Amino acid sequence: MKIEAILAQIPVRRVCMNMEMPLRAAMKLMEKEKVEALVVTDHCATEGEAVLGLLALEDAKAAVAARGPSILDARISRFVSDRYVVCDKGEMLPDAVKMIEGRAASHMLVMDRDAMIGLVTHRQVRHFVKPITGTN
């Protein structure tokens, strides 16, 4: 089974926000859209939107807990995580699990050539691999 099969069975979400936006706006957007993470982007004059990384809601909440509410006005570029992997939509699921676990990543960006077509979690990938391989 390929990673694109997961995208066919789950709601595809590509919630993005520019790196200049404040943490407060990012947290509100994630809660409104009911997503665990958003893709942080920047605009490149020659390439269009460029993915800089991810911002997970749990990381944002941890930053506020550690530094207080004044951090809510900081740009989200300060909190971007590189704990994600990128794969092609044709990647086989067992290989996707190895990629995610090899980087201790929580999310995987799914690409179709140069276009991001989805964002899946480690949990979602594992859910689909478990019945195929019998692993936990």
Checking if the pLDDT of 19 tops 70, the result is: yes
Residue with tokens 């050539």: 113
pLDDT, average across residues 52-71? 94
- How does residue 122 score in pLDDT terms, banded at 50, 70 and 90? confident
Helix axes 93-102, 122-133, angle to 10 degrees: 130
User: Which of 81, 82, 60, 77 has the alpha carbon at shortest distance from 20?
Assistant: 77
How far, in Å, CA of 45 to CA of 80, rounded?
A: 21
pLDDT per position as a tens digit, 63-113: 999 999 999 999 999 999 877 899 999 999 889 989 999 988 888 999 998
Give the chain's domains with CATH numbers: 3-133 (3.10.580.10)
- Structure tokens that stand for 57 in this block: 């809601």
